[in-house]
Structure 1
Amino acid sequence: MSHPAGRVLSLLELLQSQHRLTGAELARRLGVDERTVRRYATTLVDLGIPVTADRGRYGGYRLRPGYKLPPLMLTDDEAVAVLLGLVAAERLGLGTEEPATATAMAKIHRVLPAALAERLAAVQEHLGFTLRRAEPDARPATGTLLTLGAATRHRRRLRLAYRSWSGGTSRRELDPYGLVFHAGRWYVTGHDHLRGEVRTFRLDRIGEVVPGEETFTVPAGFDPVAQVTRSLAGVPYAHDVEVLLETDLATARRRVPPSVAELTTTADGVLLRARVEHLDGMAQLLAGLGWPFTVLRPDGLRAAVAAHARRLADWAGRSGGAGDWPRSGPSPPAGRGLD
């Protein structure tokens, strides 16, 4: 902000975020001299905001301890940024328990200038997302997310109740290595002491969670996102698939997400490994890649690819109006939960 009033507000924001700042540091951050900083501090005092200036080696400017700051003030640009973030969180399932996101949006809408609120409402009503919308029951409890976040930061072991995809419940001790939001769901990954290995858990299936006193160390180089996507690609499904793709690894990765399959470079191309519930869905995926491929296993996938090719040939040979288009086709593989 170049206007003096804007820099006065910037000074207030700096003092809110720091316990104490020297005049030299404030001058540097605001782009002014120390004399101007003193003038800005006096302006805040005149407005009833208790800014104190301490002299000496450990001196500097600070807000009086215990002072309750006024309500949050947002510029129009900041309000738009916050609202768009809330809209995305609501649509993609990034938020926690309902109706927190909706009520937060309503509160901001109420204090916006009428013209800006109307324009934002128009954007919100006509904004589309290419990512799928999360299921309502996939939202984690707010307390669960915050407790896991704190335990992950401070490296504290957790004790939690967990409900598996089959409905069974168990008590776990978990060293949380990281939180991941993927495809509309929240996950935590870390060392599970019950299984004795790194496992991945859905937050919406976690019940009671209690932080403990034991600490842990995250393995060097551990990547929570990579671990979660590998876990999702490796859940137990009906068919183990191996296909050799005649392309390079970089090209394959642009078309095949890590949550769908594991890709490995070989002398003859790229080896695709996956576990799927329905082979017809994998046949459709392979046909849409546009590269030659060899099905290594299972034999049923070869039959599924051949059947899909026959359907495509049949559809390509049709002529006439829209009534000749197929109204349905094989469904893509359906996913299951993890642990």
Structure 2
Amino acid sequence: MTRRDPAARLLRLLSLLQSRVDWPGPELAGRLGVSTRTVRSDVERLRGLGYPVTATSGTAGGYRLGPGARLPPLLLDDGEVVAVAIGLRTATAQAVEGIEETALRALGKLERVLPARLRPRVSALAASTVPLPGGGPPVDPDVLAALAAACRERRRVRFDYRDHHGTVTLRDTEPHRLVSTGRRWYLVAWDVGRDGWRTFRVDRLTPRTPPGPSFTGRPLRPGEAAEMVTRGVASALGPCRTVATVRAPAARVGELVPPVARVEDLDGERCLLHIGAATPLRLAVYLAALGLPFSVEGPPELLDALRQVSRHCANAV
């Protein structure tokens, strides 16, 4: 049907062009079951409709769908449609200022055109999942977009940064990644002035425009950006901090503690838990509530609090 129906073939061609960056002409022809000459004609029709399809160089030549002045209709498969719908529902609970209403509008448009076969899948997922509201300070989506572009294009960014004491400093950075903990957004960047990696809360920074010059990216191993944020947040949990040796696998402990706590595997059966709290008593209660055998060497205030919790529990029974 696609070979004989020009309209269906044109939609199929557009879907293929959206699925990856470059397509050799002969491969497109094979997918569509037509000649390369027909592909060239169909590409010209797409261009006439406003789609910026460019020719690519190479032995056989090819095509690429580039950015244009307007957003073309996206052709998604069933799995992609379900993923987008659930993603939009989740976005309504994120700590991005103003995104809730925008996500709901987009979700409404998507659900109005959902095929009947996909509605039960989307409805079941929506009914069975409850996104936990972030509860953190909202961030400006324009600031997030500008930082994401700087990370992608490797452009230096200067911004005014307010620390937890309220002191504002000017920072010159090489942005690397944006990390979301669910409650807050963080920028992981190389601080040029301090000659080292730093993490910055996005809600506390005000970018200065325009962006700075390009830079050569500094290597980070996969997952290291998220680990830097975890270590930084854990160290700021409270004045009472400790490293507990927990006699349980790291994977099990990781399921019980918040993302801001850091878990290090020791030998598969034990792990180190880096954690903090506002007071020694709160930290003692939290460690006891894990329900796992553990040991700590300090600080002394935490040891006293653990003894106090132990006495209260013994007296209760």
TM normalised by structure 1 equals: 0.70
Within the alignment, does 1:246 sit opposite 2:247 as a pair? yes
- Matches of 1:312 and 1:182, distance apart in 2: 34
Give the conservation status (yes or no) of the 8 Å contact 1:87–1:124.
Answer: no
**What is aligned with 2:13?**
11
Instruction: Spell out, residue by residue over 1:301-326, the C-alpha distance to the aligned partner (whole angstroms, 9 max, x if none).
Output: 223223333444455x4xxxxxxxxx
Give 3-state SS (helix, strand or coil) of 1:217's partner: coil
**What is aligned with 1:139?**
138
The two structures, once aligned, show a CA RMSD in angstroms of: 4.5
Kindly state the Cα deviation for residue 254 of structure 1 after the two structures are TM-superposed.
4.9
Instruction: Spell out, residue by residue over 1:200-237, the C-alpha distance to the aligned partner (whole angstroms, 9 max, x if none).
Output: 11112222343101514313537211111111112273
**What is aligned with 2:264?**
263
Give 3-state SS (helix, strand or coil) of 1:283's partner: helix
User: Percent of counterpart pairs with the same letter?
Assistant: 30
Counterparts in 2 of 1:317-332, with a 5 A limit?
317=317
Instruction: Spell out, residue by residue over 1:263-305, the C-alpha distance to the aligned partner (whole angstroms, 9 max, x if none).
Output: 3639x95443433212233223322333332231122222322
Taking a change above 3 Å as real, the CA distance of residues 165 and 117 of structure 1, as seen in their structure-2 partners, is farther
How many residues in Structure 1 have an aligned counterpart in Structure 2? 309
Letter in 2 for 1:200: T
Counterparts in 2 of 1:1-339, with a 5 A limit?
8-15=10-17, 21-28=23-30, 30=31, 33-35=33-35, 38=38, 45=45, 71-72=73-74, 78-93=80-95, 97-109=99-111, 111-112=112-113, 126-129=127-130, 132-135=132-135, 138-210=137-209, 211-221=211-221, 223-235=224-236, 237-247=238-248, 249=250, 251-256=252-257, 259-261=260-262, 263=264, 265=266, 270-313=271-314, 317=317
Give the conservation status (yes or no) of the 8 Å contact 2:156–2:174.
Answer: yes
Structure 2 unaligned blocks of 5 or more: none
- Matches of 1:66 and 1:178, distance apart in 2: 27
Q: Which is higher, the Rg of structure 1 or of structure 2?
A: 1
Give 3-state SS (helix, strand or coil) of 1:200's partner: strand
Relative contact order (alpha carbons < 8 A, sep ≥ 6): 1 or 2 greater?
1
Kindly state the Cα deviation for residue 160 of structure 1 after the two structures are TM-superposed.
0.8
Letter in 2 for 1:221: R
Letter in 2 for 1:186: W
Taking a change above 3 Å as real, the CA distance of residues 62 and 214 of structure 1, as seen in their structure-2 partners, is closer
Taking a change above 3 Å as real, the CA distance of residues 2 and 133 of structure 1, as seen in their structure-2 partners, is farther
- Matches of 2:72 and 2:193, distance apart in 1: 48
- Matches of 1:25 and 1:253, distance apart in 2: 47
Letter in 1 for 2:293: P
